[in-house]
Each structure stands twice: as C-alpha cells, then as structure tokens.
Amino acid sequence: MNALSINNLYKTYTNGFEALKGIDLEVKQGDFFALLGANGAGKSTAIGIISSLVNASSGTVKIFGYDVNKQRDLAKSCLGLVPQEINFNQFDTAKNIVLNQAGYYGIPRKLALQRTETCLKQVDLWDKRDTASRRLSGGMKRRVMIARAMVHAPKLLILDEPTAGVDIEIRRSMWEMMKEVNKQGTTIILTTHYLEEAESLCRNIAIIDNGKIIEHSDMASLLTRLHVDYFVLDLGQSVTNPILTGYEVKQISDKVLEVGVPKERNLNDLFTQLSAANIHVVSMKNKSNRLEQLFINLIDNKNAREL
Amino acid sequence: MSVLIAFNTIVRKELYRFIRIWPQTLLPPAITTALYFLIFGKLIGDRIGTIHGVSYMDYIVPGIILMSVITHSYANVVSSFYSTKFQRNIEELLVAPVPNWVILAGYISGGILRGVLVGVVVAIISLFFTPLIIQNLAMAIAVVFLTATLFALAGFINAILAESFDDISIIPNFILTPLSYLGGVFYSVDMLPQIWQHISLGNPILYMVNAFRFSVIGVSDVDISLAFLMTGGFIVVLTVFALWLLHRGTGIKT
C-alpha cells in the first residue's frame, strides 16, 4: 500500500507563481523517503498541500488511500508534520504544546498525558517539560516539534528539514531516533539540505526542481549513476600540473589536487601513478558526498537541457 | 467524541491563556470600571439625579457591565486568534482532524468565558458603589451570553481578515468603542434630540445595552424582543461568514 500518492498536482499562487507543475509521487508504506530540492523548488508547497496547509490548484493527494480533500479527517489522522520553521506558541511549555496537539487529534486526556511523556522522553526533553518553550535552545525547539508530530502515533511522518541549525551531536541522535521510528513501522518523508543525512537514512528518493519531479528512484540505483567520484589530495610537496592518465586533475593550490576518479577506474591505479610520479599523498578526502554530487549533476543537466 | 476532546482542548488552552496573563486581561477592566463608577456614577451622577426613575449610578451599572463584556469577548478572540496566525501555530490545528466549526466554537467559547468573567468582575466592583439587584436573572444571563457570542464572532472575523497588528486595533478603536459609548451606556436615548434618537436606533449595541439594563433594573429605551431578534440574527450571519472564511482558508492558508 502507498503511504502517499500524489497525482498530477499543480499549485499556482495568487501572484501567478507556478510552484508545482504537475507532480506525481508515490511513497510506499514503511519507506524512509527523501524529498530533495533546492530552495524554492516546490518541496514546501508540496508538503503544505499534503498537510492541508496550502490549497492545491488541481490534482489529488492521498494519504494511506484517503483523499486529503474528500476524506480530510481520515487523511489528517494518518499524518504527522514537523515543519521547517518553529510554529508553536513560544509562551507555552513543551508539555502543553505536545499535550494540546494530542487533544486536537481527539486523544483522551489520560492517554494524551501518557503519550506526551513517552514522546518527550523519546526526544530527551522530559526534564524540560515545564520550561516555557521560548527558553529552549534551537535544537530543543526542533525536538519539541518532533514530539508534537509523533504524539498521535501517525502512520506517515513528514520531516521538513528537522535538523536544520542543529549541532552535529544532536543531529546524529535525531537520526538514530528517526531510524528507530521508521523501524517501528512509521513511514517517513524527509526533506533536508544535508544530503549525507538523506543518503544515510533514506531508501528511496525524489528530487524536485522548478515545480517538477526530475528524479524518483531508489537511493542505491541512483547513486550507481554517479560516474565520477571527486577526491581532494593533500600533498607532501609542491607539484605543478601533474599528468594522471585516465583521471580528471585540477590543481587547487601548489600542494592540493582535486582528482576525479571515474567509476571504471580505481584508487589503486591512481596511487600507482602518483607513486610513479614521486608524488607523496599526506591525506585524502571526498570533495563532497555522493548524493550531493549527483544532486548537482541532475540539476545542472536539467538546466542545460532547458537552455 | 474526538471532536469534543478537540473542542475542550481549545477552550482549556484559551482559558489558561487569559488566566495566565490576568494582569492584562482581568485587572484593567476592574480598575477602569471602578473609575467609571467613581467619577461618572458617584461624583457626576449625584448631580444628574435620576433617569427613568432610577439613580444615575443604578442606570449606568448594567451598561458598563455589558460594555466590558463586549470589549473583552472581542479582544480575547481577536488577539488570541491573530497571535495564533502570526506565530503560525494555527498550523497545529490545521494539520489535525479538527473540523472548522470546532475551531470556531472553541475560540468563541474562549471569548465568551473571558467576557463573562470580566462581566462578573465588573459586577463585583459595582457592589462597592451600589447594591446590584437583578430583576430577571435568566434574561440577564441570556443577554450576556448572546452579546459575548456576537462580539467574540466579530473578533474572530477581524482576526482572520487582519494582516497586521494594526488591523486588529482599528475596529476596536474606531468602531467598537464609539458604538459602545454611543449605545446608551451613560445616557438614555430619550435625552437626545430627535434626529440623534433616530440615528442611535441604527446602533446594534444600543439594543443589547438596553436589553441588559431591562433585565437588571427593568428600564429600557427599546423593544426587548427586537433586541434579542437583532442579536440572534447577527450571530447567525457572522457564524456563517466565519465558517465560510475558514472553509476558504482566508488568511490562514495559501
């Protein structure tokens, strides 16, 4: 069963801006799905329509088979949303924010109190339950929103840049939590600008650009389409335009090279050539993560086709 | 059942909000109306004498109570719902399976509760100046309830349509307050020249103030059944309009 089915979805804002130009998307139940796109590509509009915050111009959206227009309450009860921006009452306590949300979903108070405790403990905020939310750090506020979105145990959880502005330690703990939630059966749709996050967490992916889905496949097969991996080499001595046959070489500085390694070649061969040229490599790192490279390639290719 | 839980949650949240900020919501009307009773009722009222056979203090008490109910039921909803819009926590309600009528009923109930609570506070203050003997308690409760409902609805519509904090102060400052003062709170329309009597009859607040005054002291400038009819009619019209705005997502959805 599909957790989410989007069919021919259009959105044109009143100022004439076409945010979505007929997108189709399917997310399977239990999936951990990445929805990626540059700023302004249409991700937030799509999420807004899925979560009933934005009115679609045309097209259909179904959550676990329920049409968000025709069976709105049933569709909504399956969905939990962690929005991009902080959108709770900053004067309320973390506990009240989560508890009230449970009430909006019709959860009886006694059960709502239990679930609030469970969710706040899950995001490690139970100790801060009575603190006014405006006094919480940015990372804590994001975790309050995650707890709030999970309090009614949604079958589909949409996380719109949940780790933006969160330090790496908390981000990693949030990844673990998201993995655990997904493992327990909740379908997750994640949008993020940290592509390593999407690469390490998500099994399937869609890339949206300029209001259209330009890629929709599983992560593994998408990454195999990356033909070249780029590495940055720190050298022990200065070199000038070394020739490495079969590799793209770009001189960054006199002691730093950027080398593109095609998929059909390997690093052993590269190091053989470097040793033969008497070039000593001190350290090596990926120029960018693989998905990031692929993302840039896809956007660039699409832009080139349009020119 | 789940709808009732959602409704209770909104009402509880609203109640908690205005009780938490009682120095802004409950204390000012107590002080302001105490000053009204002291200056208008006691100092000036003693020189005015009686209106329709009752002392000036007794005459203005119902009007001041109802004026407080009007102001605070309106203010509660307009400020609360606009803040909810402004901080975007309206999205908490929009993503949840809460029907529009429950959102409306929840906020209106919050406005009614604050209006009634302020009305009770003002009534208690008035006891320091004059004994308050209500002649028709059922009618008094009905008028307060209907008036608070009407102005809470008006506040809700104002909040939906408002695009800035300025927009939520324009109607209270430039329409509501003048209509309240010109609605016979401090005088009988019989005291006005003929032309102003006719103009005053176009002010809906005049009918509500007089209906409440009639329930308290048995004196009115207008037909009471017309007052109830008018208030009920406005409530129906504003409810339909507010639900239509919510259905369209005006001001809360893009």
State pLDDT tens for residues B129-158.
Answer: 989 889 999 999 999 999 999 999 999 999
User: Which of A299, A210, A214 has its CA nearest to residue A17?
Assistant: A210
pLDDT (tens digit, 9 = 90+) per residue, A98-114?
Answer: 999 999 999 999 999 99
Residues A9-33: tens digit of each pLDDT: 999 998 999 999 999 999 999 999 9
- Residues in A closer than 8 angstroms to B94, CB to CB, are 51-53
Q: SS3 sequence, A216-274?
A: EEEHHHHHHCCCEEEEEEEECCCCCCCCCCCCEEEEEECCEEEEEEECCCCHHHHHHHH
B127 touches chain A (CB under 8 A): no
> Distance (Å, rounded) from C-alpha A19 to C-alpha A5?
19
Q: What is the pLDDT of residue A289?
A: 63
Burial class from Cβ neighbours inside 10 Å (0-12, 13-18, 19+) for residue A155 reads middle
Is A159 within 8 Å of A97 (Cβ atoms)? no
Task: Categorize the per-residue pLDDT at A40 as very low, low, confident or very high, splitting at 50, 70 and 90.
Answer: confident
The closest alpha carbon to A9, from A51, A45, A40, belongs to A45
pTM: 0.84
Say yes or no: B254 contacts chain A, CB-CB below 8 A. yes
Half-sphere exposure of A271 (CA within 13 A, CB side): 7
Q: Which member of A54, A55, A106 has the closest CB to residue B3?
A: A106
Rounded-to-integer distance, Cα A261 and Cα B247, Å: 57
> Mean pLDDT for each consecutive 10-residue tract of chain B (254 residues)?
92 94 91 90 84 89 94 95 92 94 97 96 93 92 96 96 90 88 87 87 92 93 92 96 94 84
Which residue of chain A is at minimal alpha-carbon distance from B7?
A: A104
pLDDT score for B125: 94
What pLDDT, on the 0 to 100 scale, is given for residue A39? 83
- The tens digit of pLDDT for each residue in A45-101 reads 999 999 999 999 999 999 999 999 999 999 999 999 999 889 999 899 999 999 999
For chains A and B, count residue pairs whose Cβ atoms are closer than 8 Å: 80
Shortest alpha-carbon distance between residue A271 and chain B (Å): 55
B84 to A89: CB separation less than 8 angstroms, yes or no: yes
The residues pairing with A66 across neighbouring beta strands, listed in sequence order, are A63
Q: What does the pLDDT read at residue A261?
A: 83
Query: To the nearest whole angstrom, how far is the Cα of A184 from the nearest Cα of chain B?
Result: 22
Indicate yes or no: CB of A72 within 8 angstroms of CB of B97: yes
Residue A288 has φ and ψ, to the nearest 5°, of -150, 170
Predicted local confidence at residue A193, as pLDDT: 78
Q: Are strands A281-286 and A228-235 parallel, antiparallel or unpaired?
A: antiparallel
Q: Which residues pair with A160 in a beta bridge?
A: A191
* Whether the Cβ atoms of residue A213 and residue A23 lie closer than 8 Å to each other: yes
- What string of DSSP letters covers A15-62? TS-EEEEEEEEEEETT-EEEEE--TTSSHHHHHHHHTTSS--SEEEEE
How confident is the model at residue B84, as a pLDDT? 93
Type of residue found at B114: R
The secondary structure of chain B in percent helix, strand, coil, rounded to multiples of 5, reads 80, 0, 20
Q: Which candidate from B1, B87, B97 shows the least CB-CB separation from A89? A: B87
pLDDT bin (cut points 50, 70, 90) of residue A164 is confident
Residue A290 has pLDDT above 70, yes or no: no
Q: Over 60: is that where the pLDDT of A307 sits? A: no
Q: What residue ranges define each of the domains in chain A, with the CATH number in brackets?
A: 2-223 (3.40.50.300), 226-306 (3.30.70.1560)
| Residue predicted with more confidence, A164 or A155 | A155
**Domain coordinates in residue numbering, chain B:** 2-248
Tell me whether residues B92 and A87 touch, CB distance under 8 A.
yes
Task: Name the β-bridge partners of A204.
Answer: A33, A218
pLDDT at A291 over 90: no
pLDDT reported for residue A243: 84
The radius of gyration of chain A's CA atoms, rounded to the nearest angstrom, is 23
pLDDT attached to residue A161 = 87
Mean per-residue pLDDT, A277-285: 87
A221-274 confidence digits (pLDDT tens): 777 766 677 888 888 888 888 888 888 888 888 888 888 888 778 888 888 888
The nearest alpha carbon in chain A to B249 belongs to A55
Residues in chain B closer than 8 A to A96 (CB atoms): 13, 16
A115 touches chain B (CB under 8 A): no
Q: Which residues of A, range 158-217, sit inside 8 Å of B by Cβ?
A: none
Give residues with Cβ within 8 angstroms of A210, minimum separation 6.
A21, A41, A42, A302
Which of A81, A88, A103 lies at the smallest CB-CB distance from B8?
A: A103
B2 touches chain A (CB under 8 A): yes
Taking the Cβ of residue B19 and every Cβ of chain A, the question of whether any pair is shorter than 8 Å is answered with no
* b/e A81-108 (16+ beta carbons within 10 angstroms → b): bbbbebbbbeebbbbbbbbbbbbbbbbe
The pLDDT value given to residue B244:
97
The mean pLDDT of chain A is: 88
Q: What is the pLDDT of residue A56?
A: 93
Q: Which residues contact A109 (CB under 8 A, 6 or more apart)?
A: A103, B5
- Judging contacts by C-beta atoms under 8 Å, the chain B residues touching residue A108 are 5
The token duo for B12 is 């509880």
**Residues in B touching A88 (Cβ below 8 Å):** 87, 89, 92
A155 φ, ψ to 5°?
-85, -25
Distance from CA of B29 to the nearest CA of A (A): 24
Chain A residues 5-44 within an 8 A CB cutoff of chain B: 13
